[in-house]
Amino acid sequence: MPHLDSDLLRTFLAVRDTGSILAGAERIHRTQSAVSVQIRKLEELLGKAVFVRHGRGVRLTAAGERLEPVARKVVRELNDIFAELTGAELAGVLRIGVPDDYSSELLLQIIAEFARDNPKVELNVQRSLSTGYSAALASGQMDIAVHEVAELGLNMEPLKNEQVVWAASRAHAVHEADPLPVALFDRDCWWRDMAVNALNESGKTYRVVYSSESATGVAAAVRAGVAVGVLRAGMLGADITPLSAEQGFPALPASKLVIEFGSNIDTKTCGAMADAIRKAFAGMR
């Protein structure tokens, strides 16, 4: 009698969580063709499609939506009993720092999945200003953090590079004002120093009209037409446009998204979380 293999369910969830066959394959360390075969086999067993293909990836069908909660329950219970019987169950407290920007949604999803798979681990998620993460890790106040740096340092592992750009609202000509109104990060942030140095070197007259502790705060000021600002290219949308060197805004160096480890780098719990983060970002480099 035909039956659902747990391996098929794991493949199904990997594709569901990443939104594409390719990204799902990278998450579970298989080839794209192998994952396609697995999904096709699952659909043949069910007699229904579980995904609808579209230009940017896949989305669930009605049958896929019905299967998802059951698949998660089965996989979670299998993971739990395996960990219990083999003595590999994770426990303890893990203190994590995550940024307050576009990547936080993905990171919080990873953390939620980790929590479901490891219910005995108490997760303490901190979303404070990331400029303090390195000090918190070094002092033992935090175990692991994902944040952006200008240069790689000790205990840092690169996840992704992304270009940083000058940005302005598409609906306003604020970038043509003199003096130039600028929105910057406040406190001791290397992004602020980078922006100020670039402005000084360009010879522009400017004034800081808005300060924020987060990238989302700077983006809000830019979107509203209050000022120009420095943002990650991935944060630009239909209402925000990059500014070029031809417009008088020099190119800026890329930002490095890293995992940084604290004093608990060798613990199983910290290592498992780092592995989950690596897998999620594997297809984004």
The pTM of this model reads: 0.63
Sole residue written with tokens 């509203």: 224
- Under 8 Å between Cβ of 12 and 50: yes
Of residues 169 and 28, which shows the higher confidence score?
Answer: 169
Chain-centre distance for alpha carbon 193: 24
Closest CA to 54 of 10, 21, 86: 21
Q: pLDDT band at residue 87, thresholds of 50, 70 and 90?
A: low
Distance CA 251, CA 164 (A): 8
Closest CA to 190 of 128, 131, 249, 261: 131
Closest CA to 143 of 260, 280, 268: 260
Beta strands in the chain (DSSP E): 51-54, 57-60, 92-97, 121-126, 144-149, 156-162, 164-169, 180-185, 206-212, 228-232, 240-243, 255-261
What is residue 88's predicted lDDT score, i.e. its pLDDT? 63
Q: Which domains does the chain have, with CATH numbers?
A: 6-86 (1.10.10.10), 92-159+258-284 (3.40.190.10), 164-253 (3.40.190.10)
pLDDT in tens, 140-166: 888 888 888 888 878 888 888 888 899
Neighbours of 186 (CB within 10 A): 16
Give percent above pLDDT 70 in the chain.
92
